[in-house]
């Protein structure tokens, strides 16, 4: 297992994703513990981009519950109908929020969070099992490049879940 990431010295996120995604795939290869893999994935994303907060919320009973994350202390439980994470879970789609103050029902776990992107993670049966939440301390910090790059990371997580179910 690699202990460091090799990332290009650029601000071009497309190039960073192109470098980071294969390294994440290698990082989780052969490890069967989902929580350990999720922890390394969020660490790699945060290291690659320096985002304010990166983490997973896992579906448990009737809520999203805080899973592995990197960043300041976070909300522990989120109802399916609350905030960007709840909206992502309920709509089963990627949600990009340029300004969290303008998102109805936004949950302010930290006042430093200014923009956010949340992606659903699906089981092989097509059910949302968790969401990946990424917050920035900059307004309008996420684009289609981030949605596409993070979607590739989600595909790795979905393969881990599918392999665990076999």
Question: pLDDT, tens digit, for every residue of 67-87?
Answer: 999 999 999 999 998 999 999
Question: How many whole angstroms separate alpha carbon 52 and alpha carbon 44?
Answer: 13
Question: How many whole angstroms separate alpha carbon 76 and alpha carbon 161?
Answer: 22
Average the pLDDT over 108-134 and give the result.
Answer: 92
Average the pLDDT over 54-65 and give the result.
Answer: 96
> The whole model's pTM is what?
0.94
Whether the per-residue pLDDT at 2 is higher than 90: the answer is no
**pLDDT at residue number 111:** 76
Which phi and psi angles does 34 have, rounded to 5°?
-60, -45
77 within 8 A of 63, measured Cβ to Cβ: yes
Question: How many whole angstroms separate alpha carbon 78 and alpha carbon 57?
Answer: 8
**% of the chain with per-residue pLDDT over 90:** 80
* Average pLDDT in the chain: 92
Average the pLDDT over 46-72 and give the result.
Answer: 96
The better pLDDT of the pair 164, 54 is held by 54
**pLDDT at residue number 115:** 95
Q: Which residue has the tokens 């289609």?
A: 144
Q: Give the closest residue to 56 by CA, choosing from 132, 149, 135.
A: 132
**pLDDT at residue number 113:** 87
Q: What class is the 13-165 domain? A: alpha beta
Q: Of 5-9, 84-88, 108-112, 115-119, which range is least confident?
A: 108-112
**pLDDT at residue number 65:** 97
Helix axes 13-28, 144-165, angle to 10 degrees: 10
Whether the per-residue pLDDT at 106 is higher than 80: the answer is no
Q: Give the closest residue to 59 by CA, choosing from 1, 146, 128.
A: 128
37 within 8 A of 31, measured Cβ to Cβ: yes
Question: How many whole angstroms separate alpha carbon 135 and alpha carbon 51?
Answer: 6
């Amino acid at each position: 297992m690699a202990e460091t990431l090799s990332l290009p010295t650029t601000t071009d996120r497309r190039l960073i994703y192109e470098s980071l995604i294969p390294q994440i795939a290698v990082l989780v290869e052969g490890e069967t513990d989902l929580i350990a893999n999720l922890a390394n994935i969020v660490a790699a994303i945060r290291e690659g981009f320096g985002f304010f907060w990166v983490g997973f919320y896992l579906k448990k009973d009737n809520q999203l519950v805080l899973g592995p994350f990197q960043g300041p202390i976070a909300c522990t439980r989120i109802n399916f109908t609350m905030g960007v994470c709840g909206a992502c879970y309920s709509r089963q789609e990627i949600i990009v929020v340029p300004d969290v103050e303008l998102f109805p029902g936004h949950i302010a776990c930290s006042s430093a969070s200014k923009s956010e992107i949340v992606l659903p993670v699906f089981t092989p049966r097509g059910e949302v099992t968790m969401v990946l939440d990424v917050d920035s301390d900059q307004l309008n910090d996420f684009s289609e490049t981030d949605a596409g790059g993070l979607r590739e990371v989600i595909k790795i997580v979905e393969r881990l879940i599918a392999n665990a179910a076999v």
